[in-house]
């Protein structure tokens, strides 16, 4: 703990199985990892924005299944904040579990696209049962490999399925097609960039620690790469949730740049817009 007197730490000695490169209790005795904690506000902000947009676009009421992914995003922010602020084992479990609570509702939406009532119910039961078993197994064993593999696999599946949704639900070369592609490619890019920052925070921790000590505060905050991981994944997660909700809803959204939060709105008209992957090009051709 970087020679910190545990008596002065509000939460006491860390009991979590993982600890990140940020120095513990360097800023406040009440927050173990200051930057890693506060950057979680990005999830909460985007989650609240998404819920507000749903209410504005809804004619009578908001479908709970459409709202659930945004609530999951808020849960990630709150649970991750609790974990990084305290570095306790139980808050680490909260943080890990919240990641699946955020991705599972999105996975449910893409898997039940155009499904009948029977398939909808079966898919729901399978996903809920799998999620509960995973939570129990993870909490009991603290096994991180399966947790990580399932999370990455779920995110990858959602990304691939989103590509197919764009080509099947929008006309190729139409403004909506180009704008939606812009947001999707941006979401993929920033999520992957955040992942590499997460890896660098672990692999280059000694170098980053020396660099932060050399430049001092407040500029040292810029080298807290796990905090940037939160920002990048928060933006990427919101972007994909918004894109999928747009493709699967009946909302008449006339101006994407005004309906989605920045930078997703910017990405809809940026260099990312209109870039179609060759793997699904034949799907787009069939729509012409």
d(CA 125, CA 123): 6
- 84 annotated ligand binder: yes
Beta bridge partners of 31: 28
Name the nearest CA neighbour of 237 among 177, 184, 180: 184
- 282 annotated ligand binder: no
d(CA 23, CA 219): 15
Name the nearest CA neighbour of 241 among 183, 280, 198, 177: 183
Q: Which residues contact 137 (CB under 8 A, 6 or more apart)?
A: 143, 146
243 close to 184: Cβ distance less than 8 angstroms: yes
Residue in the block written with tokens 């060759």: 278
Name the nearest CA neighbour of 100 among 142, 146, 62, 64: 146
Name the nearest CA neighbour of 26 among 84, 96, 89, 80: 84
CA distances from 252 to 64, 67, 181, 246, 248 (A): 19, 18, 18, 9, 12
- 226 annotated ligand binder: yes
d(CA 270, CA 186): 9
Which residues are annotated binding-site positions? 22, 33, 84, 226, 230
Which residues are annotated binding-site positions for Zn(2+)? 84, 226, 230
Which residues are annotated binding-site positions for Ca(2+)? 22, 33
């Amino acid at each position: 703990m970087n020679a910190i007197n545990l008596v002065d730490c509000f939460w006491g000695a860390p009991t979590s199985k993982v600890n990140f490169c940020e120095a513990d209790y360097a800023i406040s005795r009440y927050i173990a990892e200051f930057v890693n904690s506060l950057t979680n506000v990005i999830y909460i902000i985007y989650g609240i924005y998404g819920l507000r947009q749903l209410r504005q676009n809804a004619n009578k009421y908001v479908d709970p299944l459409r709202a659930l992914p945004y609530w999951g995003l808020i849960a990630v922010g709150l649970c991750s904040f609790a974990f990084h602020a305290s570095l306790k084992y139980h808050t680490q479990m909260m943080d890990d579990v919240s990641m699946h609570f955020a991705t599972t509702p999105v996975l449910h939406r893409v898997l039940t696209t155009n499904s009948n009532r029977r398939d909808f119910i079966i898919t729901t039961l399978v996903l809920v049962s799998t999620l509960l078993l995973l939570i129990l197994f993870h909490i009991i064993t603290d096994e991180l490999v399966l947790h990580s593999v399932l999370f990455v696999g779920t995110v990858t599946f959602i990304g691939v399925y989103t590509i197919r949704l764009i080509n099947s639900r929008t006309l190729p070369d139409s403004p909506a097609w180009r704008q939606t592609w812009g947001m999707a490619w941006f979401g993929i890019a920033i999520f992957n960039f955040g992942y590499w920052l997460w890896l660098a925070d672990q692999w280059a921790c000694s170098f980053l620690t020396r660099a932060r000590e050399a430049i001092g505060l407040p500029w040292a905050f810029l080298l807290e790469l796990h905090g940037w991981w939160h920002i990048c994944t928060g933006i990427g997660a919101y972007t994909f949730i918004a894109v999928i909700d747009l493709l699967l809803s009946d909302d008449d959204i006339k101006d994407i740049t005004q309906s989605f939060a920045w930078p997703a709105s910017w990405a809809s008209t940026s260099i990312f817009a209109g870039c179609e992957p060759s793997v699904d090009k034949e799907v787009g051709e069939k729509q012409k």
